């Protein structure tokens, strides 16, 4: 029996993202016995598909609308964060709309009818063979991962943090109060499946790993993988020196520290304590900084705030974003009225949330300049003893070219 053709898409296109990483856990690949699946990295329309399976973020909605006209809604199944939280936005754009996880994608494909279908969470192993692994690099980690492939696993389904700016708001709003941990046996099987791929770094993509009841078992599995591990920091309770030593021994390369910088920001003594432990034991620090900006729309204060954070934590790498009102957050409805659907691409991590184009451009240039200034600073040069390549100066030049005129 000849297999049917399925094209998988992400909106916005991963080819246009400076952060090119493994597709979301909301991705589902149809049964390989029936479907010949291919992930379209550049989002160009591929004619002749029997099915177009699309994962859509809010900022990718305008591009998805244009794609739907080309492909025809009858062949499209849409899922992901935005369809899960705003399914009515996809009426007339997709034949089937999946809310939630799509681990039951084969059943949804075969189900009669149209409209909204409830996805299910199952302990399925995603088929990564259809994705362009050579392009899955965490580019936002400066030159820490030069030319290295990165794959990821999850150990925890949900999120312990009720943030108003996070793109996992669907997971939190649906699974808050529930702690669904992937069993250590599942994680072990997942690691075995990944052995057939050529990759260097393993990312633990959930923020609940340090809460896992089988933490010790999984830590041994990760250590045995021989990969360099990086992860979110997660809750700090019980994060002592002994645990940091164990992480280093297990191959931990990097911990991501998250910051929400807005008016009234105050340093967290616990976060500083754990950062000191990381530096002491040779675990690199990565900063994920979300900047909300001031109510007066000028907000020059945040540059000083972020600058102080950089000096205190001395990260090996940084990524700086602007706060985004994702669907499911308290603030989305306010911005939904300000931004018509055709302008949703502005609701991304890379745009300061202002209706004024000059003001938005000004803040984006300032944030870029701050990041470049840190990477070029004497303080950064003194601590650059981590294991990495030496292409940072080239990446800075690329960043400056992409931003046009930089103000450093």
pTM: 0.86
The residue length of the chain stands at: 408
Neighbouring CB atoms inside 10 A of 392's CB total 18
Q: Are 286 and 257 in contact (CB under 8 A)?
A: yes
> Could you give the percent of the chain with pLDDT greater than 70?
81
CA distance 80 to 337: 22
CA distance 313 to 315: 6
CATH fold for domain 4-118: Rossmann fold (3.40.50)
CATH code 3.20.20.70 for 137-403: yes
pLDDT per position as a tens digit, 361-383: 888 888 888 888 888 788 887 77
CA distance 322 to 351: 6
Domain range list for the chain: 4-118, 137-403
Q: Cα Rg for the chain, rounded, in angstroms?
A: 21
Please give the mean pLDDT across all residues of the chain: 82
CA distances from residue 32 to 2, 109, 127, 128 in whole angstroms, order as listed: 12, 13, 9, 12
Residue 229 has pLDDT above 50, yes or no: yes
**Helix, strand or coil for residue 88?**
helix
pLDDT per position as a tens digit, 41-94: 889 999 999 999 999 988 899 999 999 999 999 999 999 888 988 899 999 999
Among 2-11, 17-26, 398-407, name the most confident range. Answer: 2-11
pLDDT band at 405 (very low <50, low <70, confident <90, very high): very low
Minimum mean pLDDT range among 170-174, 215-219, 297-301, 386-390:
386-390
- Among 204, 121, 211, 123, smallest CA distance to 161 is for 211
* Vertex 381 angle, CA 400 and 203, to 5°: 75
Q: Are 400 and 372 in contact (CB under 8 A)?
A: yes
Residue 303 has pLDDT above 90, yes or no: no
pLDDT band at 390 (very low <50, low <70, confident <90, very high): very low
pLDDT per position as a tens digit, 235-285: 787 889 999 999 999 999 989 998 888 777 888 999 999 999 999 999 989
Which pLDDT score is estimated for 53? 96
Which pLDDT score is estimated for 361? 84
Number of C-alpha atoms within 13 angstroms, CB side, residue 76?
Answer: 27
Which pLDDT score is estimated for 389? 42
Residue 408 has pLDDT above 70, yes or no: no
């Amino acid at each position: 029996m000849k297999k049917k053709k399925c094209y998988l898409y992400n909106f916005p296109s991963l080819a246009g993202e400076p952060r090119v990483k493994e597709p979301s856990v909301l991705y589902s690949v149809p049964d390989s016995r029936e479907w010949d699946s291919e992930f379209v990295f550049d989002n160009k329309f591929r004619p002749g598909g029997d099915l177009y399976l699309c994962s859509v973020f809010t900022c990718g909605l305008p591009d998805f609308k244009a794609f739907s006209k080309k492909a025809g809604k009858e062949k499209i199944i849409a899922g992901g964060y935005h369809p899960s939280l705003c399914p009515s936005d996809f009426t007339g754009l997709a034949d089937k709309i999946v809310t939630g996880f799509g681990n039951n994608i084969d059943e949804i494909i075969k189900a009669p009818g149209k409209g909204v279908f409830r996805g299910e969470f199952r302990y399925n192993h995603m088929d990564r063979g259809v994705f362009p692994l050579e392009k899955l690099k965490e580019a936002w980690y400066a030159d820490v991962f030069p030319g290295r492939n990165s794959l990821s696993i999850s150990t925890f389904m949900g999120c312990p943090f009720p943030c108003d700016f996070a793109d996992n708001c669907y997971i939190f709003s649906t699974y808050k109060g529930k702690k669904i941990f992937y069993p250590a046996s599942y994680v072990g099987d997942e690691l075995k499946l990944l052995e057939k791929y050529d990759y260097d770094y393993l990312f633990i993509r959930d923020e609940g790993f340090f809460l896992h009841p089988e933490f010790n078992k999984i830590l041994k599995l990760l250590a045995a993988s021989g990969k360099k591990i990086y992860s979110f920091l997660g809750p700090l309770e019980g994060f002592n020196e002994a645990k940091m030593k164990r992480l280093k021994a297990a191959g931990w390369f990097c911990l991501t520290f998250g910051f929400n910088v807005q008016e009234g920001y105050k340093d967290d003594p616990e976060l500083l304590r754990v950062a000191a432990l990381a530096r002491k034991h040779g675990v690199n620090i990565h900063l994920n900084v979300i900047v909300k900006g001031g109510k007066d729309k000028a907000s020059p204060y945040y540059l000083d705030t972020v600058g102080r954070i950089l000096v205190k934590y001395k990260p090996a790498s940084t990524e700086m974003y602007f706060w985004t009102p994702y669907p499911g957050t308290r603030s989305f409805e306010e911005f939904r009225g300000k931004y018509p659907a055709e302008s949703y691409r502005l609701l991304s991590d890379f745009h300061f949330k202002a209706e004024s184009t000059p003001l938005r451009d000004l803040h984006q240039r300032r944030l870029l300049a701050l990041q470049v200034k840190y990477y070029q600073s004497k303080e950064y040069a003194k601590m650059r003893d981590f294991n990495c390549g030496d292409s940072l100066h080239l990446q800075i030049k690329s960043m400056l070219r992409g931003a046009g005129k930089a103000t450093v």
